[in-house]
């Protein structure tokens, strides 16, 4: 579907504000034309009456002039107020609509897009759509209606003058904008592309500054940034040149039309077909009518830029949703998890990450899933939280397939500490309360003590109210990890999944944190995903995963008492620690 039509449909919810803004804009243009015409007629009539020694009623036209001036001045204010209110409401609603359609796509449907690019689309691309109402819809409506009003008014005095004015208005309001749009199509698209790339570069550079500095690539990134900046400046310069050209041509046609109408009026006066006092009025009305179309060249100039921004947004929205949720979730009696012959791969042509996997996590049971990096351990989280759709087999929660649960209800049952961590640029308290907004100070201290972080937080300048920086920049890697574990513990879900929870911790601290969690939540189902062996002696069962399949499973005592792959890897791990 045409992006322009889709934008119109999305704007229907704000038709009242938009219609009111368009009406006020039209009122401003018409009042300006009326003001100029009445003033021209009044001055000419006063001059003729004065030279002839005649009297005339100047109170009514003087009052009309003041009235039109007040309407124009007040209208300008309310035009800005209403049109900007309509625009902000439209953009705000558009962002909510975009996010509502974006969330079901994450992460499977968003693989082709970088995070910075998505941020650019939801920010700058939607901001670019403010031109859609302010610079396109309103000017086109005002120009069309004002042209009709001007034509019928001028036609009462001279059809020739009305046709000349209408023809010139069409040139300025249609021909020049079409030419402008053609000339601005390439630089407009290039400007949007460069702007998007520049924002992506800034975000990537900010988030990855530490890595760039470590690998000595910061100067290269700066050069790339400068190159993108120069490309954007060139595109903006081209757009400004086109805008100046269209404005100059429009001004030239305005004055040429005014002179031509004046000449026609003089001829009509000589033929006694037009009163002399009407000529200034007609001339000024013609000049005022061009205000209705002066914005159209700029509108069409940025039309390509606006439509390309819309296409970038609709490109993501049109991505097919691979995950679907029911309207209601089943009522379950327990929170046991069971994987039945589960197979999964990220694409139809890709390799199988998990193959015919069978696993059961009974309510209150502690199970460890271990294996080398790349064996498919972290994929469990994506499947359990319904971020990806599995192809074969099934996952059961309380005896019901995960596909029968609403996403929100399912994720309420499961707390996850992911391997890829993210903290918001907010306070420690705000980041913790994402796990449980109702948690009080005592509960915060409790979970921080469990992860051995309470003292660290107290030593920060503002304690719980200290800002952690972008992505936790002001904290160490181990502190970030423990803060994420604390946030998951605050959620108090019946199932806790820990994906490499000891990453970034020294062995002693690692043992204390794992021990504290298992002792405090011994009645909670815990799935520990790791490639280490810390805390495994406290597990009820251990499953060894390799190449997407479980090669052996059993209690720690059973696996250590047999000639197992687990015992072999455990021995190697202990040997490395001793070295």
Give the DSSP per-residue string, 375-438: SSTTHHHHHHTTSS--SEEEEEETTEEGGGS-HHHHHHHEEEE-SS----SSBHHHHHHTT-TT
Which residues are CB-contacts of 369 (< 8 A; sequence separation ≥ 6)? Answer: 359, 377, 380, 527, 528, 529, 530, 543, 545
Residues of the chain with CATH 1.20.1560.10: 3-317
Helix, strand, coil abundance in the chain, percent, nearest 5? 65, 10, 25
Is beta strand 392-397 parallel, antiparallel or unpaired with respect to 549-554? unpaired
What dotted CATH number matches 3-317?
1.20.1560.10
Q: Which helix (H) or strand (E) holds 525?
A: strand 525-530
Q: How much is the pLDDT for 26? A: 92
- Residue carrying structure tokens 């903006």: 236
Residue spans of the chain under pLDDT 70:
1, 54, 106-121, 123-124, 207, 301-302, 570, 572-579
Q: How much is the pLDDT for 35? A: 92
Q: How much is the pLDDT for 416? A: 86
CATH 3.40.50.300 fits 337-578, yes or no: yes
Count of Cβ atoms closer than 10 Å to residue 574 Cβ: 11
> How far is 357 from 395, CA to CA, in rounded Å?
10
Residues of the chain with CATH 3.40.50.300: 337-578
pTM beyond 0.75: no
Contact 550, 384 (CB under 8 A): no
Q: How much is the pLDDT for 548? A: 78
């Amino acid at each position: 579907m045409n992006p322009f039509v889709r934008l119109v449909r999305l704007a229907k919810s704000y038709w009242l504000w938009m219609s009111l803004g368009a009406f006020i804009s039209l009122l401003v243009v018409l009042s300006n034309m009326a003001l100029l015409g009445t003033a021209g007629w009044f001055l000419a009539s006063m001059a003729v009456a004065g030279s002839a020694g005649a009297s005339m009623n100047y109170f009514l036209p003087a009052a009309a002039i003041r009235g039109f001036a007040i309407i124009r001045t007040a209208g300008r204010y309310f035009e800005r107020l209403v049109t900007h209110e309509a625009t902000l409401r439209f953009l705000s609603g558009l962002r909510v609509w975009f996010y509502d359609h974006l969330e079901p796509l994450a992460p499977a449907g968003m693989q082709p897009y970088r995070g910075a690019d998505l941020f650019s689309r939801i920010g700058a691309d939607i901001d670019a759509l403010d031109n859609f109402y302010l610079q396109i819809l309103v000017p086109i409506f005002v120009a069309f209606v004002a042209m009709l009003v001007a034509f019928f008014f001028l036609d009462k005095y001279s059809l020739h003058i009305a046709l000349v004015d209408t023809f010139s208005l069409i040139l300025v309001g249609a021909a020049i904008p079409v030419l402008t749009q053609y000339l601005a199509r390439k630089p407009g698209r290039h400007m949007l592309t460069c702007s998007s790339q520049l924002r992506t570069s800034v975000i990537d550079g900010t988030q990855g500054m530490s890595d760039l500095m470590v690998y000595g690539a910061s100067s290269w990134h700066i050069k790339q940034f400068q190159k993108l900046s120069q490309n954007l400046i060139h595109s903006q310069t081209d757009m400004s040149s086109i805008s100046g050209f269209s404005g100059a041509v429009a001004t030239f046609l305005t004055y040429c039309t005014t002179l031509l109408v004046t000449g026609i009026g003089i001829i009509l006066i000589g033929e006694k077909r037009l009163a002399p006092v009407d000529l200034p009025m007609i001339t000024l009305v013609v000049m005022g009518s061009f205000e209705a179309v002066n914005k159209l060249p700029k509108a069409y100039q940025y039309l390509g830029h606006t439509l390309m921004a819309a296409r970038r947004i609709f490109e993501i929205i049109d991505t097919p949703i691979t995950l679907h949720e029911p309207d209601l979730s089943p009522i379950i009696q327990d929170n046991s998890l069971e994987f039945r012959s589960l197979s999964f791969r990220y694409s139809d042509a890709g390799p199988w990450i998990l193959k015919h996997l069978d696993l059961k996590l009974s309510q209150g049971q502690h199970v460890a899933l271990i294996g080398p990096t790349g064996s498919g351990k972290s994929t469990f989280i994506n499947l359990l939280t319904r971020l990806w759709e599995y192809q074969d087999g099934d996952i059961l929660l309380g005896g019901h397939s995960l596909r029968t649960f609403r996403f929100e209800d399912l994720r309420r049952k499961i707390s996850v500490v992911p391997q890829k961590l993210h903290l918001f640029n907010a306070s420690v308290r705000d980041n913790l309360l994402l796990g449980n907004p109702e948690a009080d100070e005592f509960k915060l201290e409790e979970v921080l003590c469990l992860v051995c972080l309470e003292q660290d937080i107290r030593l920060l300048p503002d304690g719980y109210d200290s800002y952690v920086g972008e992505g936790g920049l002001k904290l160490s890697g181990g502190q970030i990890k423990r803060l994420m574990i604390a946030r998951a513990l605050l959620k108090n879900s019946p199932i806790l999944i820990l994906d490499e929870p000891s990453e970034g911790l020294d062995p002693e601290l690692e043992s204390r944190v794992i021990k504290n969690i298992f002792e405090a939540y011994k009645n909670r189902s815990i799935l520990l995903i790791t490639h280490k062996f810390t805390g495994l002696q406290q597990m009820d069962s251990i499953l060894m995963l390799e190449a997407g399949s479980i090669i052996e499973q059993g209690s720690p005592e059973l696996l250590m008492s047999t000639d197992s792959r687990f015992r072999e890897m455990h021995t190697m791990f202990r040997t490395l620690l001793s070295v």
